[in-house]
Chain A
Amino acid sequence: MIEWRDVGKQFGRRRLFSGISGALEPGRSLVVTGPNGSGKSTFLRLLAGLARPDAGVVLRPDPPFSIGYASPDLATYGELTGRENLEFFRNIRGGGVDSASLLDRFGLSKAANRAVAHYSSGMRQRLKLAVAIAHEPDALLLDEPTLALDADGIALVDAIVADFVEAGKCIAIATNDASEAARWGTAKLDLR
């Protein structure tokens, strides 16, 4: 479980949010909504430990508790192929799902040996999602996960969310899409 207490974040004089408390509970999916610039992505970065709150605390369990994270602001290595990217992340994390299974599940088998720089935006998004779940994390944080995805890709995200909830793991998703929020969320945090 990831918990946050009285969390606030601001950039310069501009306050994004403040006084937010809550928890990412196992088996429940939290949908983070709000208009552009409300701090959805920043909030997920706080949960991931990639940014620090200006007020309050974010409590994450110690390792081996692991987090998977996918965001439009996070890229894979363009000079490497899809397979090499997955192998690299598997190696630095010390294990996880084998690359061939992931490439197959995410529909990237045919492009496995092509440099990611030559992928379409949808294929890159699929690869990011594959990287995020490749180590079977205890918590998954997805920022705009359907960005650039086709119908099959969106169905893939639906399946990932359902799998995590069914497995009793933690998942948080930031989205602007009301239908996605209604489909995925068992809990909601509105940052407007």
Chain B
Amino acid sequence: MPQKPPAGALPNSTSVKAAGTGALKWFRCAAAILAKEARVEWRSRLAVGSTLLFSLCALTAMAYTIGQTKLQPSVEAALLWVVLLFAAMSGLSRPFVREEEMATADNLRLYAPSSAVLAGKLLFNLAFMGLIELVTVPLFFVIMPADLSSTNYGLLVTISLLGGAGLAATSTFVAALISQASAAGARGALFFVVSFPALVPVLMAAVHGTYAALAPAATPPEFGQNSIVTLISYDIVVTAAAYLLFDWVWRES
């Protein structure tokens, strides 16, 4: 004969304490947050839509302005990262800002470990940045009159991924910081003002590395290697700093 559940208990429940502890529980939580972000974005398409639209508009405007003028590889590299930077800025703050605007952030503060919240949202932003680059980088070279005959594609892809990861990691942490600004209207401006200085090193390294990839004959071999080392170091330092500081940023109120 089945026993009557204790008062206050509901049927078909799994004990929270028995459902997995430590690392497994943390990974499940981070994965759930990542999946939630993807599902919410898929249904609203706010960040992806606005970001891709920005990329398309910016590239089209540049194409009309430049015409058939042949640009130096160094200028092409700089233009590519300017487009990627501004495209990323319009979408990477959404995961945290949306939580505050929709009054759902306290749910995560109450029920999820802060490091898992950071991990879930960072992974989403990495995937988001990857998608933006997947569309924007090829489109850039289709629209711009670039000579790709001597391009080092391996280096170009590596620099794009590492630079994109740097943009995503920095933006994720800064978005968590500014999302708690009481003046909702100031969040967009604050996001750019706070994140831009932190992004200068990653932009410089990414532009140098892209230049090395577009013109391997004009740059010494260590030019590209140095950019890769700089970007890897930057990504590790920013991610580690975000991990260490996030709990303080997230729960301070």
Q: Could you list which residues of chain A lie within 8 angstroms of chain B, going by C-beta atoms?
A: 48-52, 64, 66-67, 69, 71, 73-80, 84, 88-89, 91-98, 100-102, 105, 115, 131, 133, 135-136, 163-164, 166-167, 169
A135 touches which one: B6, B36, B106, B111 (CB < 8 A)?
B111
The 10 closest A-B pairs by CB, nearest first: A167-B8, A95-B19, A91-B32, A166-B7, A95-B14, A75-B103, A163-B8, A95-B16, A98-B12, A97-B10
Given A94-B21, A97-B14, 17 extra CB contacts under 8 A: A67-B110, A69-B110, A74-B104, A77-B36, A77-B40, A80-B36, A89-B111, A92-B112, A93-B112, A94-B16, A94-B28, A95-B16, A97-B10, A98-B12, A115-B43, A164-B8, A167-B8
Inside 8 A of B43's CB, which chain A residues have their CB? 79, 115
A100–B36 alpha-carbon span in the complex (Å): 19
Inside 8 A of A105's CB, which chain B residues have their CB? 10
- CB pair A95–B18 under 8 Å, yes or no, is yes
Inside 8 A of A78's CB, which chain B residues have their CB? 102
- CB pair A94–B19 under 8 Å, yes or no, is yes
9 A-B residue pairs with Cβ-Cβ distance under 8 Å, sorted by A, are: A50-B110, A69-B106, A79-B44, A93-B29, A93-B111, A95-B15, A96-B16, A97-B14, A133-B10
Inside 8 A of A92's CB, which chain B residues have their CB? 28-29, 32-33, 108, 111-112, 116
Question: How many B residues are at the interface, by size bracket?
Answer: 35 or more
In the assembled complex, B67 has its CB within 8 A of some CB on chain A: no
Known: A77-B36, A163-B8. A64 touches B16 (CB 8 A): yes
- CB pair A88–B13 under 8 Å, yes or no, is no
- CB pair A91–B7 under 8 Å, yes or no, is no
A166–B9 alpha-carbon span in the complex (Å): 10
- CB pair A131–B107 under 8 Å, yes or no, is yes
A154–B98 alpha-carbon span in the complex (Å): 31
A114–B21 alpha-carbon span in the complex (Å): 32
Inside 8 A of B8's CB, which chain A residues have their CB? 136, 163-164, 166-167, 169
- CB pair A136–B32 under 8 Å, yes or no, is no
Q: Tell me the chain B residues, 1-51 only, with Cβ under 8 Å from chain A.
A: 6-21, 25, 28-29, 31-33, 36, 39-40, 43-44
In the assembled complex, B65 has its CB within 8 A of some CB on chain A: no
Inside 8 A of B19's CB, which chain A residues have their CB? 94-96
Q: Could you list which residues of chain B lie within 8 angstroms of chain A, going by C-beta atoms?
A: 6-21, 25, 28-29, 31-33, 36, 39-40, 43-44, 102-104, 106-112, 116, 251-253
B14 touches which one: A76, A96, A131, A163 (CB < 8 A)?
A96
Inside 8 A of A100's CB, which chain B residues have their CB? 12
Q: Which chain B residue shows the least CB distance to A89?
A: B111
- CB pair B40–A76 under 8 Å, yes or no, is no
- CB pair B107–A74 under 8 Å, yes or no, is yes
- CB pair B12–A50 under 8 Å, yes or no, is no
Q: Which chain B residue shows the least CB distance to A91?
A: B32
Among B39, B108, B111, B116, the most chain A Cβ lie within 10 Å of the Cβ of B111
Inside 8 A of B10's CB, which chain A residues have their CB? 97, 101-102, 105, 133, 136
Inside 8 A of B253's CB, which chain A residues have their CB? 50-52
A101 touches which one: B11, B15, B111, B252 (CB < 8 A)?
B11
Known: A79-B40, A166-B7. A66 touches B107 (CB 8 A): no
Q: Which chain B residue shows the least CB distance to A130?
A: B10
A92–B108 alpha-carbon span in the complex (Å): 8
A105–B10 alpha-carbon span in the complex (Å): 9
A76 touches which one: B15, B28, B104 (CB < 8 A)?
B104
Inside 8 A of B40's CB, which chain A residues have their CB? 77, 79-80
